[in-house]
Each structure stands twice: as C-alpha cells, then as structure tokens.
Amino acid sequence: MKKNIVLSIAALAFMAGIYAQAPGDKPALVVESMYLQPKRGMEDKMEAAIKAHDLKFHPDGPNVAALHKVEYGEKSGWYLWVLGPTVYAAIDHRPAKDGGHDADWSTNVEPLIEQYGPTSLWDYNEELSTGMDNFRKSSHYEVWGVKLKPGSYYRFKALTEKLKKAYESIGTTSMLVFNNPVHDPNMADVALLWNFTSYDQWSKDDTTRPAYEKLFGQGSWQSMITEWTDITKDYSSELRSILK
C-alpha cells in the first residue's frame, strides 16, 4: 500500500486532541519520542550507552523505552528514544533524579550526543490500528506523518477503517495509527506505521491492493487513493529499525 500511494500521488514530504476519550474508558496509550543525533563516530557507543540506560531504568512496565534508528528519510542517521507505549500517569511519575536516572543519562549518554531534535507525544488510536502484538516483534517499520486538510479527520477515519480491514484479512502486516495531541501547524496530525521484516520484503509489498479490492470491489483501491489525495495536504516518511 505504501509504495502504491507514493506512486499514485507522487508526493513525499511522525504522534488540541483529534479524538476524545469518553469518561470511564480505559486509559489512553501514549508514546513519547525524542530525536537524537550522535556525535560523528560515536554511533555505536551511544547505542550501547542508551541500551544500558534503558536496561537499568526502562526495562519494562509503564516506563519501558527503546532505541530506534532512522535508516532512510530526511533525518537518516538520527535516532529516536521512544518511551512507551505507556499511559499519561506514567509520564507524570517518570524516573528523574531519584535512583540516579538523570545522573546516568548526563554522565554516560549526554557526552555522546551532538544535538537533540524534537520531542513529541503520540496518542495510540486502538480503534484504527491492527497487529500491535505482531509489531512488537518486528525489527523494521515505515512511518508516515500525515498533515490532514482542516475538517477532514472524519473522512480519514472512514478511509483508515477500511484499510484496517484489509490488513486484518492479510494477517501478516501491522498498521498502527497515532494521533498528535499537541497542535503544531508544521507537524503531522496523524502517524501511520507498518512493520516489515526485510527491505527486500518491503520493496515487494504488493498484497494490500488485492486484499482491499477483494473486500470492497474492483476499482475500490483507486477510489481510496483519490479520497486520500483529497483529504491530505502532504506527508513525510521514514524507514526505521528497532534496536534490540
């Protein structure tokens, strides 16, 4: 699906609440991501230092964290330190000075970082997502940060509900959707993530269109592409690896 949309719209440009959580619902899951650029030649040392930090302070539970690397895209060579999925209450009570958390980062990680990039929050949209358990086992994924036209979220939701059904019918590819809860006119409103096992598999991914048209009829894929172009301003994409 990803490559077909790229070809179809010929555009290449990640998570004020877009959707509300009703009282009494289970706590919303959120991800915090922070871009990091290592000093030249310090990539391996920074990876090792952050992995050691995470093993000590963020191994599992509500403060679980992991390191991701941007392999391709505008920020290729950068990394993301990702906290979660977690809940907002965990962000309120995250590790800080107690127990040596901040001192460990300042002493062992900070000296290896050239600069910090943006830090963002992304609300996990469980309703529109499928395959979270499968995604957790992946080593690679593609992410699209999508800027929607004003007032078009309801159309994006309807479109994505159909895509979710197509991916569920395939059963091997996850599609995760995140909403951006912090409005910024220059940032994406939503993010979509798809896992993959290898770049060879990613380059040959041609299963989504047949699955979609099997569910919704011949020509429905092109209709979906037309709807996509009508409700989006642009999007940016990255290919990332999850460092384990």
| Torsion 47-50-55-58 (CA) sign | negative
Tens of pLDDT, residues 112-153: 999 999 999 999 999 999 999 999 999 999 999 999 999 999
pLDDT band at 8 (very low <50, low <70, confident <90, very high): very low
Q: What is the CATH number of the domain that holds 84?
A: 3.30.70.100
Q: What is the pLDDT of residue 206?
A: 83
Of the residues 123, 153, 178, the one at which a domain ends: 123
Total domains present in the chain:
2
Distances (CA, A) of 50 to 68, 92, 102, 107: 11, 22, 12, 11
Does residue 65 sit in the same domain as residue 151? no
Phi/psi zone of residue 36: left (φ > 0), alpha (ψ -120 to 50 degrees), beta?
A: beta
Does residue 91 sit in the same domain as residue 162? no
- Residue 238 clears pLDDT 60, i.e. is over it: yes
Beta bridge mates, 193: 143, 176
Does residue 135 sit in the same domain as residue 234? yes
Does residue 69 sit in the same domain as residue 46? yes
Does residue 74 sit in the same domain as residue 58? yes
Tens of pLDDT, residues 189-220: 999 999 999 999 999 878 999 999 999 999 99
Does residue 8 sit in the same domain as residue 129? yes
Q: How far is CA 186 from the centre of its chain?
A: 17
Of the residues 91, 108, 123, the one at which a domain ends: 123
Structure-block tokens of residue 159: 């479109």
Does residue 132 sit in the same domain as residue 242? yes
Contacts from 6-13 at CB under 8 Å and sequence distance 24+?
6/237, 8/222, 8/225, 8/229, 9/225, 9/228, 9/229, 11/234, 11/235, 12/235, 12/236, 12/237, 13/147, 13/234, 13/235, 13/236
Does residue 165 sit in the same domain as residue 222? yes
Residue reference for tokens 């499928």: 130
Name the residue range of residue 146's domain: 1-18+125-244
Q: What is the pLDDT of residue 95?
A: 87
pLDDT band at 24 (very low <50, low <70, confident <90, very high): low
Does residue 101 sit in the same domain as residue 142? no
Tens of pLDDT, residues 33-69: 999 999 999 999 999 999 999 999 999 999 999 999 9
- Number of C-beta neighbours around residue 171 at 10 A: 10
